[in-house]
A and B are shown apart, each in its own frame.
Chain A
Amino acid sequence: MTTIQEDAIWNALRSVIDPEIACNIVDLGLIYSFAVTGEKVSVTMTLTTPGCPMHESIAQGVQWALLGIEGCEEAEVNVVWDPPWSPAMMTERGRAACQMR
C-alpha cells in the first residue's frame, strides 16, 4: 500500500483554481484542513462566498485532483462556512496575484 504524501496533496489541491479570481484554492486560503485515513483523503474547505456559482465545480475539481494522487482511492470534500473565508487567509502569493488590498 502506498502512503499518501502531504506534499502530493498540496500539489494536487494547487492544481484547482477559482476561475473567477484566477487563483488556485491553496493560495486563496480556501483549504482549512485535510486528513488521510489509509487510502482516503478528506478535505475541509470553504469558498469565498456562500452561494458561489462555482461551488459544485470547485468541490468536484478538488475530488478529481485528490483521486489523481497515487494511492488515493477515495476522496471526500466538506465545504463549510464557519469560519467564513477572509482575505487574511490568503498566502502572500495569492494576495499579489489577486491584487488584494
Chain B
Amino acid sequence: MEALSPTYSAPEPVATIRPAAPRAAAVPLAAQAVASVFLPLRFVLTGVASLFLGVLLLTLRPDLLATYHYNQYIIAVTHLFTLGFVTSVIMGAMYQLVPVALETKLYSPRLAKWQFVCHLVGVAGMVWMFWRWDLKQVGHFGSVFAVGVALFVFNIGRTLRRVPRWNPIATAIASALGWLALTVLVGLALAAAKCAYPDEPSSIAARAVAPALVALRALAGFVGRFDQMAAMHAHAHLGAVGFILLLLVGFSFKLVPMFTLSEVRSWQRVRWSLGLLNAGLALACFGILLRQPVKFAGALVVAGGLAVYLVEIVAILRARKRRVLDWGLRYFVTALTVLVATGLLGVALSWPRLRLTSFTGQMENLYGFAFLVGVVALAILGMLYKILPFLVWHARYSPLIGRQKVPSLADLYSPRLQIAGYWTFLAGFIATAVATLAASERALPWGCGLLLLSLAIFAVNAALILRHLAPPRTP
C-alpha cells in the first residue's frame, strides 16, 4: 500500500491516452444527470431566439426607440426582451445553476418541463397580443405565463428548502422569486384594469376560474386607482431590479470567483449590497407608484447597493488567480461598466423636479435600452459562453471523460468569433444608444444592424457548440 503526500514532483506527460476498458457496473453513471441538461438548453435557446427577434424588430422599426415608450409596439418588444429573452435564459440557467450554487438538487425536473410549455405559450401569446393591443388576450396569455411562473417559484422555492447551509446567494434567489411573483401580479392587474368582463361568467370555463377573476378584478380595481403610467414604471422596475438585477448580482458572487479562481473577499459587503438593493427597490417603487419624491431616495439606495456590489466584484477580480480574463468574463465586466452609467442615469431620471420633455423621454428610452441590452444582454451573452458549452459538454462528453480524450469547454467554439462578437456588440450598443438619445430614425437601423450582426456571430458560435451534441460518425 502506498500513500503520497500532497506535494510531489509531477511525472512526465503522457504521450497518448489509453482508452479505458469499460468494466464496470461499479461506475455510477452521470448519464442520469445528463438528460437534465436539455431542459435548461430549451430555455436558453428560446431566449437567444427572442433576443434575435427583438433586435430585428428594432432594426426594422427604428421609430420604436425614437419616440416615447408608451405605445403597443415598444411594450410588445420590451416584453419580448424581458420575458422572451432575459427571463427564459435566467429560468433555464437557474434550473442548472441553483443546484450548483447551493449544492443541492432541483426539487422537480418534471414541473420544470411543464413550466417550459406554459412559459413558451404565455410569452409568445403576450408579445403577439401586445403588438395587436388586445389587452384581454394579453391577460389570458399572461395568466398562462403566470401559471408557469408559479410552477417555477414553487420548484425553486422547494429546492431552496433543501439547501444545507443558507447563505447570501440563497437570500438573493429567494428575494428575486418574491419580486418576480409581485411583478407578474402587478402586470396581470394592469392588463385586467384595462379589460371588462360580464358580471356573471357565462361559459363553464369562465365559471371555473370565476374566483380567480374576482380576485384579479379586485386587484385591478386597486391598481386602477394609481396613475397607469406610474404603475407601469413600478411594474417594470419590480421586474428589472427585483428579479433580473438581483439575480445577476447574487449569482455573480458565485460565478465570478468560480471562473477566475478567486473568492468572495467580504461577505459583509455581499449582505449589504443585497440588503440595499432590496430596500431601495421597495422605496423606489413606492415612490414611483405614488409619484412621490421618495423615489429619488429609493434610487440612491439602489445605487448605493450597486456601488457596494461593484466594490466587491473589483476586490474579487483583484484577488483572482487566473491572470488573464477570458472573453466571456470580459463581456460580463463590460456589462458592469455599462451598469454604472445606467445606474447614474436612473438616479438622474428619478430627480423629483425633472420635467418630461421630448429629450427626457428619449433619456428614459435610453435608460431602458441600456439596461436591457448594454447590461443584461451583454452580461448574459458573456455567461452563455460559459453556460452553453458547459451544458453541451456535460451532455456529450461527461460520460466519456477518463475513458478517452475529451475537449475543454473553450475548444467547443471559436475564440475569434467570440472576440469579433464582443466588439461588434459594443459598437452596435454605443451607436444605438447615441441614436436613441438623438431620436434619429436614420441612425438607429445602423446601430441595431451592428447588434444584429453581433448576434449572428454569436449564433454561429452557438451552432459550433451545439454540433457537438450530434453523435460521432462511425467509419
Question: Given A57-B398, A60-B402, does the pair A49, B258 have CB atoms closer than 8 Å?
Answer: yes
Which chain A residues border B11 with CB–CB below 8 Å?
7, 10-11, 14
Interface centre among B28, B254, B402 (most CB of A within 10 A): B402
State the CA gap A20–B326 with chains docked (Å).
11
Q: Does A2 contact B (CB under 8 A)?
A: no
State the CA gap A52–B17 with chains docked (Å).
25
Contact B401 A17 (CB under 8 A): yes
Q: Does B475 contact A (CB under 8 A)?
A: no
Q: Does B233 contact A (CB under 8 A)?
A: no
Question: Given A33-B3, A101-B320, does the pair A60, B408 have CB atoms closer than 8 Å?
Answer: no
* Interface pick from B95-103, B134-142, B179-187, B431-439: B95-103
Q: Say what secondary structure dominates the interface of chain B.
A: loop
Contact B101 A51 (CB under 8 A): yes
State the CA gap A53–B4 with chains docked (Å).
27
Contact A68 B100 (CB under 8 A): no
Contact B406 A35 (CB under 8 A): no
Of all chain A residues, the one with the shortest Cβ separation from B30 is A56
Which chain B residues border A27 with CB–CB below 8 Å?
10
Contact B258 A52 (CB under 8 A): yes
Contact B409 A50 (CB under 8 A): no
From residue A31, how far is it (CB to closest CB) to chain B in Å?
8
Q: Does B218 contact A (CB under 8 A)?
A: no
From residue A28, how far is it (CB to closest CB) to chain B in Å?
10
State the CA gap A34–B394 with chains docked (Å).
26
Of all chain A residues, the one with the shortest Cβ separation from B263 is A49
CB neighbors of A among B382-418 (8 A):
386, 390, 393-394, 397-399, 401-403, 405-411
Contact B409 A91 (CB under 8 A): no
Contact A19 B2 (CB under 8 A): no
Interface size on B, residues (CB 8 A): 57
Which chain B residues border A99 with CB–CB below 8 Å?
322-324
State the CA gap A56–B7 with chains docked (Å).
25
Q: Say what secondary structure dominates the interface of chain A.
A: mixed
Contact A36 B27 (CB under 8 A): no
Question: Given A14-B13, A48-B261, A49-B258, does the pair A62, B6 have CB atoms closer than 8 Å?
Answer: no
| 8 Å CB contact of A61 from B19, B257, B386, B401 | B401
Which chain B residues border A57 with CB–CB below 8 Å?
30, 394, 397-398, 401
State the CA gap A73–B300 with chains docked (Å).
64
Contact B100 A53 (CB under 8 A): yes
Q: Does A78 contact B (CB under 8 A)?
A: no
| 8 Å CB contact of A98 from B17, B322, B393, B397 | B322
Contact B20 A65 (CB under 8 A): yes
Q: Does A89 contact B (CB under 8 A)?
A: yes
Contact A19 B393 (CB under 8 A): yes
CB neighbors of A among B1-39 (8 A):
1-7, 10-11, 13-14, 17-24, 26-30, 33
Which chain A residues border B401 with CB–CB below 8 Å?
16-17, 19, 57-58, 60-61, 64
Contact A65 B14 (CB under 8 A): no
From residue A85, how far is it (CB to closest CB) to chain B in Å?
9
| 8 Å CB contact of A64 from B27, B96, B324, B409 | B27
B interface footprint on A1-23 (CB within 8 Å = 1, 0 otherwise): 00000110011101111011110
B interface residues with partner A (beta carbon < 8 Å) = 1-7, 10-11, 13-14, 17-24, 26-30, 33, 96, 100-103, 254, 257-259, 261, 320-324, 386, 390, 393-394, 397-399, 401-403, 405-411
Given contacts A14-B13, A16-B402, 7 further A-B contacts (CB under 8 A): A22-B411, A34-B3, A49-B258, A53-B100, A64-B22, A83-B6, A101-B323
